[in-house]
Structure 1
Amino acid sequence: MAGKETKASDRGVDRQAAPGSLLRDERLRRDLTIDQVAQRLHLNRATIDSLEQNDFDALPPMTFVRGYVRAYSQLLELDADAVVASLSDAGAKADSEPLYGWVGGASAPPPGKPSRLREAKMLVAIAVTLVIVIAAVGGGAWWFTQQSESAPALAEPEVDERTKEPTEEPVNEPTESQDPEPQVPEQRTDSPEPTEAVPSSALASDSELAGTAAAAAASDADEEVIPSDAPVVTQPEPQATREPRADDASLALVFTGESWMEISDANGDRLLFGLQSEGEEQLWGQPPFEVVVGDVNSVVVEFEGESVDLDAYARGNVARFTLGES
């Protein structure tokens, strides 16, 4: 009995048959539904249905279709290379334009639209933040200006009243000097008293003026410090999408699940970094590429249209390797 049980990959693949028919027949033989396959591959039902019907016009660019077919074939234990090779015989057209990230669905989005929408959202967020910061700085400056203007206004009446007191006493004394001569010595003996009172009141008023001036200077200093501390918030500028050059090499990635990814090119530019969810990515850069894959079971990698065997580099579920070395 053991000799009769063989995998689908051992039975071979009819290259003349359409890839969608091969996948559908093997799925039915295994009693799997389209929903079950879509759930395991992290794709929607419409994408699986289009693959089985060979409806390539309803699918994303061919680079991603090859990734879908390869993942589907591996799920059914078919010869993935043979099924992918049959795509060209089934009338699938090669990619003629640069590819953009796209999650499997009914139709592909127009090139450039995702990045423009992302840039527009970023610009709106920056504009709103700047308006809030400017309003906060302006409101704080206005409030401190009002406080600094009201403080000297409250202190001025006290200064005026006290400065008037020494001026009234000397005014009355010259009227006494017009009295008869016998009273002149008395005026001379009394005159030192107002002269001594004048400096004391003047000193008091000067100290109070100095205090109010110091308070006004302190409020002005606070007023100057506030604007310098206010514009601390800085917003990151949106990064421009890198356009492919003639001497660039391409990497196509299909994610059937979550996986950590890190890819850098020969110039040291980091093309991809972080935890990636199901979907696709198309990258360009100067080879060779340094690649780190966190989960080889959830990623399909193609370099210059050729599939990369991640199992050859895997240590557990993690793979580290270099692509495009001369």
Structure 2
Amino acid sequence: MNDNKEPVDIGDDIEVIGPGQLLRDARIAKGMTKSEIAEQLNLRLALIESIEQECFDSNTPKTFIRGYLKNYARIVGINSEDILSSYEMLDVAEQNDAEMKSFSQNKRKQAEDNRLMLTIYFIALILIALTVVWWWQESAKMEPSVVTNAALQEQSTSAVKATSADDKSAVTKVTTDNSTGLATQTDEPLAKQIETADAVFEQHMANNPDSADRATDAAVISSATASTRGEVNNAVEAEPNTDQLVFIFSGDCWVNIFDASGERLAWGIKKADYVMTLTGKAPFSITLGKPELVAIDYNQQAIDMSQFQQGQIAKFTWPKN
């Protein structure tokens, strides 16, 4: 008998009768016991019971199983071909059942995977939606702040530009008036030209006190003067029979300084961080546009600048008589 048979497809509605049931029915019909069958086949009783229960050992070769079934069918008087065909059908049915179980398990696993993926997609969608809502709320909060900051910055810039324009206009006027007087009005005395420029600058300073800025500048000068004064006094020595003035500027300041002989020692706007050393005969006639921005040493002795009012032009003679 050829063992290599084509597989048989068994429908779900076909009931397969196994070889064990056919052999058991034939044995009972002949009135034989299991022990008699086992004795005639020279097999163990447990093996006969396994055949009738169709519990075939997977470790036993199928060739041996077919031999047992064929001999059993011969003893009970039924066709061995029918028994072997029933065995083949039973094997096919078991294979189909195993395949169906495997297919069912795969389908169940696939369904679980699909549910898991749907859950992940749903969570991701919720996170994206929450992110969009958060971004929208933050953007809505930031827009008024940006507008306010832009408006404040624009107002501040306009105010600074206006103040700078006023200051530049005033300084330019003083400089232009002075330059024009020196260049074109040659017939007018020099002292008269300087006096006119001084009056223009003093009027500008009186109209633009800038009290807040001057208070801040006064605090700056107090800290900068201590370190600068020592260096200047050590570096410069006064000439014999002359007096010495050292000016330390913490901000832009207009000055006009004469010595006792009437010689002009300094005039004009001095920039911040500038150190100016003058020598001449005392007493000195000193005019400062912003006294709070200047520290003065007279013969290496500091002059108390707190005596002058902030925001006012200081005109004084030093040393005092």
Check whether TM > 0.5: no
Asked which structure has the greater CA Rg, the reply is 2
Greater relative contact order (Cα < 8 A, sep 6+) = 1
